[in-house]
Amino acid sequence: MNGRGPAWWPLHRRRSRRSREAGAALFQGLRVRLTLWYCGVLGTALVLSGVALYVGARLFLLAPVHDDLAGHANGHAQQWLRDSPYHGACPLMGSFYPPDQGGDPPDQSSSTPEIVVCYDQNGNLPPDENTTGLPPAFLDNALAKTVLQQGTSAEGIVDGGDKFGPVYRYALIVRNPSGSGYVGVVLVGERIYAEENTLALLLKLLLGLGGIALLGAGLGGLFLSKRALAPARLAWTNQQRFIADAAHELRTPLTLLRADAEVLLRSRTHLATEDAALLEDIVAEAAHMGRLSNNMLTLARLDSNASHREHEVLNLAEIALASVRRVQALADQAAISMQGEALESVLVIGDPTLLEQAVLALLDNAIKYNRPGGQVTVRVAVKGEQALLEVSDTGIGIAAEHLAHLGERFYRVDKARSREAGGTGLGLSIARSIAVAHDGTLTVASVPEQGTTVSIVLPRPHRTQLDRKEDTAGSVL
């Protein structure tokens, strides 16, 4: 390797760089879904056209066989009635022509070897019927009984074994000339080995070509979907950049506006009551807009991976306790009790600032939408190979129809109450984005009038990851 690493390393670095680009996961999912739609539509068209082609070929190949056997069966039936109309015996006993013996059927118009047997009016073979050498599947009397029950003709294909191969059977009922009852049934068979081989070859070709076509559609679909999504991806990236820039530029004037209004409020005694109230509104709205711009900037940076993220070994329980201490004053002001439950020591790898921000967002929502005298419980535990952090409250809860939309940006269940509490509808979105950035998930469970539980599940580090972190820390020291 000459100290330069494996040959695939530059390609791996380019792929890793692409995976960290803005919206990489979003557009990769869109590419896969579009490709699946392409393959699904093409696969449906191929299946329908393949079935139509196979059925048409089968009818084309077997229709002459059916017509040929129908003519032979009518000839045998007429001969039966002409030679022995007064009893049910078959005059064609022993008249079969195995393929290894040659011979022609009674109808000299066709040179195709045929097999002929006759059944009595009960659908049974006469005791003196010569069936030597005939395949058992061909002699099965189920088709003859069906014909006697229905009073018409019937056909089917059976496996005649190695000697005969597939055999097409045609059964024709022989009516009594007097018009009462039946004399018996004539069963005529013909080998269709060549036709069945042709159909089998056609089926293999259809399956093979269909598979190749679907594979080509998948590869082509990935390429075309990438080209088709390129303008959308560019527009999305520009939008994220615009949101981040706008939020960043708004923070300074909003801070100055709030500071100026607070300075003026210090001289409240020299201001009219209406002017003081207006300044207080300006301070409140500036603070609300400042929180909104900060949240938008955070989300834009998370979406575009523009923010620097640390990767440290952290104790999730310590982050939870630190977050509880930070919101304790807010909870006391709202008469909400805070408590930790089963705060196990669970290690994760992530950015301490972002994880604390996610926990603070969950705690802030749990306090805002709780009742006076309510309770907020924080729990940290191990869940298999994952770390679990839960924030539960005894608040107003959330109706089931809103749960699917929680985490969407600016979505608020009770807009009036959210605005009154100072919410922006972005707290849960930020927490979910932070969880996803750490390869985790965020779920919400709630019961109206009973409370809400929000769970963050993060992967626990493997021993090799911990050793790598320790080695890195030792090399820095």
Instruction: Kindly report, residue by residue over 277-319, the tens digit of the pLDDT.
Output: 888 888 877 777 777 777 676 666 666 665 556 678 888 889 8
pLDDT at residue number 369: 83
Nearest-Å Rg of the Cα atoms of the chain is 41
Give Cα separations from 414 to 368, 402, 408, 430 (angstroms): 12, 10, 14, 19
pLDDT at residue number 260: 79
At residue 107 the predicted structure's pLDDT band, cuts being 50, 70 and 90, is: very low
Rounded average pLDDT over 218-235: 83
Helix or strand run (H / E) with residue 114: strand 114-119
Q: Provide the Cα torsion 68, 74, 76, 79; round to 10°.
A: -140
DSSP at 5: -
Residue 92's nearest CA partner among 113, 67, 65, 115 is: 115
pLDDT in tens, 418-437: 445 555 567 787 788 888 88
Residue 379's nearest CA partner among 437, 321, 334 is: 321
Rounded average pLDDT over 351-374: 86
pLDDT at residue number 405: 59
DSSP at 21: S
At residue 52 the predicted structure's pLDDT band, cuts being 50, 70 and 90, is: very high
**Least confidently predicted of 4-18, 340-354, 369-383, 393-407:** 4-18
Where does 92-190 have alpha helices with state H? 136-139, 142-150, 161-164
Rounded average pLDDT over 20-33: 70
Q: How many CA atoms lie within 13 A of 361 on its CB side?
A: 29
Rounded Cα–Cα distance for residues 398 and 348 (Å): 30
Q: 34 CB contacts (<8 Å, ≥6 apart)?
A: 221, 225, 228, 229
